[in-house]
Each structure stands twice: as structure tokens, then as C-alpha cells.
Amino acid sequence: MPRLFGTDGVRGLANGLLTPKMALDLGEAAVRVLGSENHGAEGSRRRALVGRDTRVSGDFLGAALSAGMSAGGFDVIDVGILPTPGIAFLTSVLNVEMGAVISASHNPMPDNGIKFFARGGFKLPDAKEDEIEKILGQDWDRPTGQGVGRISHDTVTATNLYIKHLVETAAATEEAPLKGLRIVADCANGATSVVAPEVLRQAGADVNVINASPDGYNINDHAGSTHPEQLQAMVVASKADMGVAFDGDADRCLAVDATGRLINGDQIMGILARAKKRAGKLNHDTLVVTVMSNLGLKLALKDMGITTVETAVGDRYVLEEMLRGDFSIGGEQSGHVINREFATTGDGTLTALTLAAEVMHSGKSLEELANDFPQLPQKLINVPNVDKLAAKTNAAVQAAVAKEEASLGNTGRVLLRPSGTEPLVRVMVEAATQDQADEVCDRLAKVVASELAI
């Protein structure tokens, strides 16, 4: 049976895989596992935070998850709609035992997910998720009487605390550091529809906001980081200096320069790593990336005296490596950027702030900054409706990969990766030319679709 937890919590069709019973069982199991690590005073109440993105299914899943946690003896603070990194931040500063986020991030609206943060605001390691999964749905000696927890709601205080934290981060060196910068912000009708515009404005920017009217059904719908076309057109039409695009739970951010060109996570990480090196804050002169990062980023950074360390895909694996090596910044091509100086997880709004601040500090346009990190031609195809677990073992697929790798030689590479959050296989090819990358990727995607069809 496949592992329930993927690279970013439990994720699937809301009311399909992810039912109210599943949410309740996850809540109970999580407090049993994480509650055993309570570091509070003897007899003190144990507390948990629960937040969510704007999906309509978050209402019933949040109620069920909170019920499971409170039935397990935790007092639950429901902070309502808030970005995932906001929950991580509050889990740390409020010193609660755990935090939980109900979100499917960049996935389409019918999906949802549940992910947990341990004390301090860090995502759970695989071993802890395995413990939760192992006892999921088991009967146990539940608390009664005064042992059960309460559920309270506080959306305003939580949101204001998070906004204050971000604004103070931006204003660490000067008041209104973004004054005069014109930014278009695409909030994906998601969790940062209130937070990101407010933070950017308080930092001094002139902000034009699109897709910030969530109705429960329109999250990520032709909007945000997975569909940046509207943002690209708006930046050009409004003659803005730059644009930023978030995903549904706002833990990632992509950007658009004044010409309408998309600036991906690799280029953003390159810009921010170089800025940290200049400020003497790039620990060990190293940036942590994943296997998906473009070879062009690594080559450009090498010329700047910056080393790259590579991990598996998933921002928690990036963070694990950052903590292990005491590195200060890392992330993914998709726009997850972890800045350990200010956060314990990827934070899209923080990324937008720091990127905009570097535009102002450098005196260069975003286009000029990104041009220093050219990308090798790359093609990515997501192949749906396939047995993703067989991608690494199917003989025909592996033979096709080996053949294409031999043809590319040292001029490119092939990466075949089962998605950790969706039922598909990602086929990625880098090559000397875009035509070659397209052709190789197309051929491999057809083999995957044919051989692994379900």
C-alpha cells in the first residue's frame, strides 16, 4: 500500500481520499504522536493551531481536524484563512506544540490536504509522519472530562501578528524600503489575498492586486504561480516594475519582469543568494537546491563563488539539508524559497518582499538581475493517469531514458520523477537547444504514458 503522506503532507480529492473521518483520525493521531513530546510545564494545557487556504472543503475538514485534536486533549486555536508560512511562524512564536494547515497548495480546487508543523514551526520528518500513519484510526484510551480540549477562533490577531512580522522584516534597514516600486500581485484567490497586498503596501510599494477575491471555488483557477499569463499581461499593460505570483497557500512565489517575462524560482534564488553573499549573510557561500534546478543556475553561481548543494524534491528536504549544513538559503525552481534568517519554511510573501528589496537596493531592474542567471533550455511534461510508483522500475521506460541520456551526453540531462503531491509522473529534460529539449521530452512522455497507463 502506498505511503499516505507525500512530499507535503496528505493530499487528495476532498471528500474522496480526504474525508471528514480521515481528517478527524489524522487530528487524533497527530496529537498522540506530537503530544508525547510536550515540553510545557507540568499540568499545562497543550495547544495546537489550525489554519487553511480558501477552498470550500476547508470548512468541513477544518472542523473535523480540530475535533480530532481537541478529542485528543489539545486546546485548538482556529486561525482561519492564513498562508502556510503564517501557520509555521505562529507555531513558533506562540510556542504551541503543533500547527496544522488544510491546503492543497497549487493543486486544483477539488483537492485538499493536511500537513503538520512541529514545535518551532518545522515540517515533520518522514519518521514522524510514519508514526502518525501507523496509529491512524486505531482505538485508544481517549481523555474524558477535563482532559478534553477546547476549540477557539481568532483570525484577526493571528493575521495581524503575521503581517507585522513580515513588515518588520522588510523594514529592518529602512522605513518603506519599496517606496516608488510598482508591483502587480497575483494572489491566486488563495490564502494570501489579504496578507500579501497589505504587506507590500506597508513596505511602501504601489500595488495593483489581481485574483484576490476568493469564493471557495476559484483558488488557482487560471491564476497565481501555476497560471501566470494574466499577471504577465497586467505587468506590461500597467507599466509596472515587476509582478509577483503566489500559489494557493502562498508558500511559493514566482516573479515577472517589466517586459512580461516569467522569472522562475531558480533565478529568484540566484538573485537572493548573491545579495546575501554581498551582505556577508550567505553561510558557507552555499545555496541549497533540488535535482529540478536548472544547470544554468549552478554554472552562474559557480562563477560568482557560490556553491550549490543538491537534495531530493520537496522544500522540507531542502530545509533538512540547510539545518544539517547550517546554510542560510535554499529552495526549489517552483518558487519555494526558504530564508532561514526569517522563516522555517518557504514563504511566498517574504520572497516577494526580499526580491523587491533587492531590485531597489541594486538599482537594477528585475530583468537585469535575472539575466545574470541564464537558464539552459528546459522542457517539463506532467504525465497524468499513470502508475507513478512503476516509473523507476519499468524496463521500457528506463531503457528509453538511458537512450535519451546517451544522445544528450554532457550537453543536457533527463529527470524522471513521480510527483509527491499529485497522481502523475514529471518528465524533465534540459538540452543545448529548446528544440532538442522539446523533442526528447515529448518522446519520453509518450513512452511513460504508454507503458505506465492505468
**Domain extent listing, the chain:** 10-153, 162-371, 378-451
Looking at residue 351, its pLDDT comes to 97
* Nearest by Cα to 364 from 277, 278, 271: 271
Section 206-228 average pLDDT: 97
Q: Which residue(s) pair with 207 in the sheet?
A: 183
**pLDDT at residue 2 greater than cutoff 90:** no
CA 204 from centre of chain:
26
Lowest mean pLDDT among 172-181, 234-243, 247-256: 172-181
Topology match between the domains 10-153 and 162-371: yes
Can you tell me the mean pLDDT for 243-272? 98
Average pLDDT over residues 187-197: 98
Asked whether 161 and 168 are in contact (CB, 8 A), the reply is no
> What tens digit of pLDDT does each residue of 425-440 get?
999 999 989 999 999 9
Lowest mean pLDDT among 247-261, 352-366, 388-402, 418-432: 418-432
- Give dist(CA 258, CA 354) in Å, integer: 17
**Domain 378-451: what homologous superfamily?**
Alpha-D-phosphohexomutase, C-terminal domain (3.30.310.50)
Least confident of 221-230, 290-299, 416-425: 416-425
> Could you say which architecture CATH assigns to the domain 10-153?
3-Layer(aba) Sandwich (3.40)
Tell me what pLDDT residue 315 has: 87
Share the mean pLDDT of the chain: 94
Q: Mean pLDDT across the stretch 95-120?
A: 96
Residue 128 reports pLDDT greater than 90:
yes
What b/e readout covers 377-392, taking b as 16+ CB neighbours within 10 angstroms?
bbbbbebeebbbeebe
Give the single-character DSSP code of 310.
Answer: E
Banded model confidence at residue 37, pLDDT cuts 50, 70, 90:
low
Q: From the candidates 103, 105, 225, 334, which is the catalytic residue?
A: 105
| 3-class secondary-structure state, position 144 | coil
Q: For residue 196, report the phi and psi dihedrals to the nearest 5 degrees.
A: -60, -50
* Contact between residue 336 and residue 346 where contact means Cβ atoms under 8 Å apart: yes
At residue 49, does pLDDT exceed 50? yes
Whole-model pTM: value is 0.89
- For residue 40, the model assigns a pLDDT of 47
Rounded to whole angstroms, what are the CA distances from 424 to 90, 382, 391? 33, 6, 10
DSSP SS3 for 453: strand
For 399-415, write each residue's pLDDT tens digit: 999 999 999 987 889 99
Conformational region of residue 72, where left means phi above 0, alpha means psi within -120 to 50, and beta covers everything else: alpha
Is the confidence at residue 172, as pLDDT, over 80?
A: no
* CATH class in words for 162-371: alpha beta
pLDDT of residue 43: 56
Q: Which amino acid is at 69?
A: M
Our CA angle for 139, 141, 142, nearest 5°, is: 95
Q: Could you tell me the three cell numbers for 52?
A: 487553511
What is the tens place of the pLDDT at every residue in 312-356? 988 889 999 999 999 999 999 999 999 999 999 999 999 999 999
Q: Which residues pair with 416 in a beta bridge?
A: 427
Asked about 365 being catalytic, the answer comes back as no
Looking at residues 385-389, what average pLDDT do you find?
Answer: 90
Quickly list H helices, 239-347.
265-278, 295-303, 315-325
pLDDT for res 173: 60
